[in-house]
Amino acid sequence: MNNTVSWLGLAVSLLLAAVAAGISWWQRLGLQREILVAAVRALAQLLLVGAALTLIISPGRSIWWSWLWVAAMLGYAATVARRRAPDIPNLLSLALASFTAAAVVTLGVLFGLHVFPLTGRTLVPIAGMMIGNSMTATILAGRRLTDELRDKRDEVEARLALGQDSRQAATPYVRAALRAALTPQIETTKATGLVFLPGAMTGLILAGTAPLQAVLVQAVVMFLVLAATATTTVVIALGLIRRLFTPDHRLMHLPAPADH
Amino acid sequence: MSDQQEAAFEFHRVTVVRAGRRVLDEVTASVPAAGITVVSGPSGAGKTTLLRLCNRLEIPDAGVVSYRGQPLDELDPLALRRRVGMVFQRPAPFPGSVAGNLAVARPDTGTAEMSAALERVALDPGLLDQEARTLSGGELQRMCLARTLITGPETLLLDEPTSALDEQPKLVFESTARALAAQGIAIIWVTHDDAQAGRVADRIYHLRDGHLTVAAAGEARP
């Protein structure tokens, strides 16, 4: 049994965007235009991606097109991370390295151990989930670590002055940053199914998949996201330490961010 | 006097530029490896920078700093920092107990050794289990000194260590440092407090506008 949304159905659902715009108009929020632009823009982007995905994952198409798509997602996510956290030095190359590490770990387990068959139809969405979720955790971990080392410079230099190397001196702050970045994901994982139904599962059920199958897929996705966030954040944190300290164990000057 | 001749630190045309300003301008000087050498001068004169060069928390833009005849960039920075301890202007206690703080300096330090370190800085060994951040300002600064002593330094760098202390704890810190100097630890003490300089110094250097000069005899304590 497959439920499909018709073009007419899509048009009707735009009524819901109109409701949001109507509330904005009624309450004089001045957001009507933005709401409509956002809705139309999201729709256009999704349609474009849908068309591209249709091309890429259609049966008979080489899997290399899917890998190319994944590589493009990695690169794009790294530039987004850098744009959203410009105060973290060298974030572009570090984010690229950390997303790649997470991809190797997660895709290696899921496809190497045959949890899913390796096809464009499985590779592209799974890599997308992995990268999308890692990006937030990456920025969180990178920003927290940079802030900690800047704000607690006295403590860090006191540790260095006692003869600790930069790795040892940074350890308490790396831990704090990793905890801060991973905790929201752990909380989400704990609440899954009780408080909210996650997107992948909801989508599958709506599309007509049997609930048990949808749940199994969702569980795999959750574990994927856990592993991906843990991998990306640890790579970012350890990589940043190498860049924020000099080889002779001095903490570099860390300018305060312009705003945030 | 032979101890006057052996140098702990030697600065040769040391220049440090920060944000376009010459914080230290071709400083050439020698600091003896005994007693207390005070570096005095107005705030912003580069005193802290001079001290931070000595255990390589910063490096000069030009010139050479040597410790006991060896240029610092030829020494392992981690080993150097254990031979040359530093106490900062603002005490920086680590989270946890006093004992935990001392253990950061050397994890295998036994209780007897920790107690001895506290006694050397006039602190009660009963404080070992106390949360470090609950100590008073004077106690905290002396705990930081004890923490540094755990690494067994030959030389101590003190960066305005009493600037946040009241008169009484300030005097306790001074006599503690004098006792350490008498035990053979060379001390370089940065301060802008001339009265303090007169009380503790075996010799006084003035740092002003990036230049270091030796003060006239008689300014230091008799």
pTM of the model: 0.86
Long-range pairs of A152-159 with CB within 8 A, sequence gap ≥ 24: A153/A251, A153/A254, A154/B88, A154/B90, A154/B92, A155/B92, A155/B94, A156/A251, A157/A251, A157/B57, A157/B88, A157/B92, A158/B88, A158/B92, A158/B94, A158/B144, A159/B94, A159/B104
Identify the DSSP state of B70.
E
Q: Do β-strands B84-87 and B155-159 pair in parallel, antiparallel, or remain unpaired?
A: parallel
Is B111 part of any domain? yes
> Does the pLDDT of residue B222 top 70, yes or no?
no
Any domain includes B195: yes
With a cut of 70, say whether residue A126 has pLDDT above it: yes
**pLDDT > 90? residue B30:** yes
What is the C-alpha separation between A216 and B60, in angstroms, rounded?
61
Q: How many CB atoms lie within 10 A of CB A250?
A: 17
Please tell me which of the candidates A160, A163, A165 has its beta carbon nearest to residue B57. A160
Q: Is the pLDDT of residue A90 over 60?
A: yes
Minimal CA separation from A159 to chain B, in Å: 8
Residue B222 lies in a domain: no
Confidence of residue B78 (pLDDT cuts 50, 70, 90): very high
B101 to chain A: closest CA residue: A159
Residues of A in contact with B151 (CB under 8 A): 162-163
Residue B221 lies in a domain: no
Name the residue range of residue B79's domain.
Answer: 2-214
**pLDDT tens digits for range A16-58:** 999 999 999 999 999 999 999 999 999 999 999 889 888 888 8
CB contact under 8 A, B77 and A249: yes
When pLDDT is averaged across residues B31-50 and rounded to a whole number, the result is 92
The predicted model gives A213-226 an average pLDDT of 91
CATH label of the domain that carries residue B148:
3.40.50.300
B28 secondary structure, DSSP code: E
B81, B144 in Cβ contact below 8 A?
Answer: no
Residue B146 domain flag: yes
When divided into structural domains, chain B yields a total of 1
Asked if pLDDT for residue A1 goes beyond 70, the answer is: no
- pLDDT mean over B87-106: 96
| Helix, coil or strand: residue A146 | helix
Cross-chain Cβ contact B151/A164 below 8 Å: no
Determine, for residues B104 and A165 on separate chains, whether the beta-carbon distance falls below 8 Å: no
The domain limits of chain A are 1-57, 62-244
Q: Are residues B57 and A157, on separate chains, in Cβ contact within 8 Å? A: yes
- Using CA coordinates, name the residue in chain A closest to B74: A248
User: Is A248 in contact with B77 (Cβ distance < 8 A)?
Assistant: yes
DSSP A8: H
Closest residue in A to B151 (Cα–Cα): A162
Q: Chain B residue closest to A166 (CA)?
A: B78
- From B92, which residue of chain A is nearest by alpha-carbon distance? A155
The C-alpha atoms of residue A111 and residue A114 are separated, in whole angstroms, by 5
Give me the DSSP letters along B82-114: HHEEEE-SS--PPSSBHHHHHHHH-TT--HHHH
Using a pLDDT cut of 90, give the percent of chain B over it: 86
Rounded to an integer, what distance in angstroms lies between the CA atom of residue A134 and that of residue B63? 46
Residues A228-235 have a mean pLDDT of 95
The pLDDT value given to residue A260: 47
pLDDT at position B16 over 70? yes
Helical axes B137-149 vs B167-182, angle rounded to 10°:
20
Q: What's the helix, strand, coil split of chain B in %, to 5?
A: 40, 30, 35
Tell whether the model's pLDDT for residue B216 goes beyond 80: no
Rounded mean pLDDT of B136-150? 96
- Smallest Cβ–Cβ distance between A165 and the set B78, B94, B104 belongs to B78
Torsion of CA B155, B156, B157, B161, to 10 degrees: -170
| Percent of chain A's residues with pLDDT above 70 | 97
Share of chain A above pLDDT 90, in %: 69
- A:B CB pairs within 8 Å: 55
Distance in Å, alpha carbon of A180 to nearest chain B alpha carbon: 18
Count Cβ atoms below 10 Å from residue B124 Cβ, excluding itself. 11
* Contact list, A248 vs chain B (CB under 8 Å): 56, 59, 73, 77
> Over 70: is that where the pLDDT of B219 sits?
no
B79 has a chain A CB within 8 A of its CB: yes
Query: What pLDDT was estimated at residue B5?
Result: 56
CB-CB under 8 Å, A159 with B81: no
Among candidates B56, B77, B88 on the partner chain, residue whose Cβ is nearest the Cβ of A158: B88
The arithmetic mean of pLDDT across residues A211-218, rounded, is 90
User: Which chain A residues have a beta carbon less than 8 Å from that of B144?
Assistant: 158
